[in-house]
A = this chain, B = another copy of it.
């Protein structure tokens, strides 16, 4: 069934339009922000959490302005904002709103998950709405969020319910990109690794949550684990896979082909540091700190070429 307005359909349309199955991870460290921007923010707000948040927001805005026409989606990592407390989270919200205005799909990388009533509160706050007296608010209003499945179905279901209402979507952690992800995720249960079990659950949870060709219940599988990606692609044929770990974490374009389906769809590759702090790399040093946004644009173009090359 084709339903109008489903964000998973918009994500795919954006990917087709840009011919770029990528996501820019807006995970700013204060140390990534060029000195000039930091100085301006501190002049206005002092050396405060508000100042840090302003620097991060201006940094994000420039990167989005310089790349939004090339990319389908962004993935702000909320921890990088949460570290600056309330002002940081206000910068997160501003970033989400600005990216949505620019037509980008916004994946809130929040990795939440809790008992039912608590997951329902997270889902309302990040994907849905809350009622206050006679008024309705959409507090953070991301399009997708990431969810940690350790607590099982009744942790995921409240998110899925809000997605159904709001036409939004999830990416559920299955096999994460970090070096120690195997400590639990690779352990065998009846001969099957835990990540595969999680992958099967994602396929099951997503079955009745379909957009045009793909489910709005997707999965997170790290670029750093291409073999596992190949297997999981088969187990969850209808799940969109969000693939972190490209670039700075070590994943390369050629490792990524098997994360995709034969239709050339089914995966979006995230790069964070490699794009947003591109001007600090030797390769893009010619842009200098002043033109950091142009360096990010060049890095996006190179990433797209790398991934298109791998998909040929």
Contacts and interface: CB of A to CB of B under 8 A. Distances in A.
Contacts of A179: 154
A312 interface: no
Given A121-B82, A125-B79, A176-B151, A47 B111 contact: no
A281 interface: no
Contacts of A178: 115-116, 151-152, 154-155
A134 B62 CA distance: 26
A85 interface: yes
Given A83-B125, A182-B152, A118 B77 contact: yes
A139 B89 CA distance: 11
B85 A121 contact: no
A48 B189 contact: no
B187 A173 contact: no
A149 interface: yes
A92 to B, nearest CB: 9
A130 B119 CA distance: 28
Chain A interface residue number, banded:
35 or more
Interface stretch (A194-202, A227-235, A292-300): A194-202
A42 B48 CA distance: 30
A181 interface: yes
Interface string A47-73: 111011000000000000000000000
Most chain B CB within 10 A, of A121, A130, A134, is at A121
Contact of A149 (B47, B90, B150): B150
B152 A88 contact: no
A236 B165 CA distance: 43
Contacts of A86: 86, 89-90, 93, 139
Contacts of A93: 85-86
Interface in A9-38: 27, 30, 38
A235 B12 CA distance: 48
A154 B177 CA distance: 11
A88 B139 contact: yes
A52 B115 CA distance: 23
Nearest to A30: B132
Contact of A82 (B125, B173, B181, B187): B125
A277 to B, nearest CB: 12
Contact of A183 (B27, B85, B124, B201): B201
A305 interface: no
13 contacts: A38-B133, A42-B133, A82-B122, A85-B93, A86-B90, A86-B139, A111-B148, A115-B176, A148-B148, A149-B150, A149-B184, A150-B150, A184-B197
